[in-house]
Structure 1
């Protein structure tokens, strides 16, 4: 599989141009939006709210995360294939390396009856190409990367596991059972702990990254999915999709300290740039909600239909919100929740990644 970065007519269309070179000519940040069944990632210039490129060839890409150094994207596929079928070799690696990462044993599981796998792809942003692919058992939903850049974690809901991959050698260091239907994960700022939401049994798991053991499992609301961690790592905010609440969890004691009722069915969640406000996509109510974390005051704005994934766009004062029902992303003001515009995309926008400007 070779992934190709296609610049649109409005961008710099030069044979062999590198995205890193284009960065010096365009405003940052860039936002990378996986488009699910369209099997590609849209590249958006957030200063202009315009698509400037497309990364093609990523089968059913839902989960996406970026490395802290801004060099790579880690993409997870929700499409499964037989363990006996190898994907095409990425450019720049040998046949031996490729075979080593895609033989049946590369899934590194004690289960000998693994029949299907999916591909985790490492994309070099400057080239817009996949440089490594790693097989994991079953489909991947969401992706996270540790702040130190060492590890990526991918959730595999159908197997009730996550896989952790060492980005220094692209090897799986563990397939870890966390709970029923793990959905989302986030690392602590010191990279020493990993928090995972388990939608199937309404729990949050805490994993020690020194030995990859599950240290604690706590109950939260119904069907926790998207989660976000405060910058200081002290507070975890958990979207409980089915009961329309957000659980506030103290990460030191791993105790739920507050529950906020925000709507009927929820989905995306993120914090403001300064960490003083929480944004939540209330999909079932066609609204976006903003909670002032100091006062607890709630502000809402209508956003229809079906606000879905949500991301705070650093250095811009904006939020991007995708729609579950339409092929677009809304651009929303962080302070007022005023609708500033929208971006038409080719598919449904999933786990958005913001690469901040330098």
Structure 2
């Protein structure tokens, strides 16, 4: 947010009766501005073809830095309980990672195996997963993983990260205590999106190629169960404490509400146009969805089932809730821009100009 826009927003709150004491005017204005506009987090936006991550101060919208050297960055994850981000590249490379100075040749060979390849199927190519120090923006480790990375997730406790590999039909599990790829799990055709639930022991992975969601045990690196979930499930949101997944069945224009305790589909919510990213409000009562096919966003009241649709801009794409703000970040698939949008009203609060199309965005305190 620029100084001018701050001043404009602040002055708009000063339209109060003259009889109100001046001190009360100031307090009222500041409280109103804070409740509607300010969110004290750091925002990270992968810029895809620009090979960078934009870092934004959530309090004022100013750019903190750009993290460069992240080729075709798409998947990005982080949590308040970890000092790092995990970024995945959507392309493969023929340049293997060199052993870090702190790692011996034997340790490097042990990690990559006798063939020198990353853990995973030999048929897959190699892609790079980057570990980034959040405080400095420095890339502190690069890991070889089997095949291009679509999305990543970090466990709430900061112990694990997971990367999905659509071309290799599986996921990589990374132990963030030592930055090692410790497991490979075949989940199904074209794994797309991944969420790690609150206990940090279980990951849920959408398999777009066969219409399923896999429940993965992270410590033991195996699939416990598979659930049917529409035709081509992609992005997901997880209701904390409810055991409920909300899944974008992208091409059909529907959102599936899945109870992971029973494996049953509770609701099949029709949006009637291509959907992509989605996320839940802080209270879990609203689901905010990018309706890519109609250049809009939808706010779904999960109690009543009512759906309000608001025009936004060209091809809304990824969605990430900004905690404790009532707002969400939405990127565009068509243009290098992102919006901050009010979840209840659909009003655009702020726009960000990007250097490339924004992908899996992260907001961390």
Q: Which runs of 5+ in 1 are unaligned?
A: 1-25
> How much does 1:89 deviate?
6.4
Q: Which runs of 5+ in 2 are unaligned?
A: 1-37
1:20 alignment partner in structure 2:
none
> Any idea what SS the aligned residue of 2:167 has?
helix
> How much does 1:240 deviate?
0.4
Judge conservation of contact 1:233–1:251 (CA < 8 Å) in 2.
no
> How much does 1:327 deviate?
1.0
> How much does 1:69 deviate?
1.7
1:280 alignment partner in structure 2:
289
| Aligned ranges 1:69-80 → 2 under 5 Å | 69-80=81-92
1:216 alignment partner in structure 2:
225
Deviation string 1:112-145 (CA, Å, 9 cap, x unpaired) is: 444x201111101112111111101110010001
2:64 alignment partner in structure 1:
52
Distance 1:113 1:181 in 2: 15
Choose the corresponding residue for 1:35, options 24, 36, 47.
Answer: 47
Judge conservation of contact 2:81–2:156 (CA < 8 Å) in 1.
no
2:108 equivalent to 1:108: no
1:13 alignment partner in structure 2:
none
Query: How many correspondences in the alignment?
Result: 326
> Any idea what SS the aligned residue of 2:266 has?
strand
Q: CA RMSD in A?
A: 2.0
1:86 alignment partner in structure 2:
96
**TM-score (structure 2 length as normaliser):** 0.84
1:227 alignment partner in structure 2:
236
Distance 1:199 1:217 in 2: 13
| Aligned ranges 1:217-296 → 2 under 5 Å | 217-296=226-305
1:142 alignment partner in structure 2:
151
* Counterparts in 2 of 1:193 and 1:94: CA distance versus 1, 3 Å: closer
Distance 1:53 1:98 in 2: 34
Larger radius of gyration: 2
1:167 alignment partner in structure 2:
176
Distance 1:52 1:97 in 2: 39
2:139 equivalent to 1:130: yes
Judge conservation of contact 1:327–1:349 (CA < 8 Å) in 2.
yes
Distance 2:137 2:118 in 1: 26
* Counterparts in 2 of 1:305 and 1:121: CA distance versus 1, 3 Å: same
> How much does 1:86 deviate?
2.5
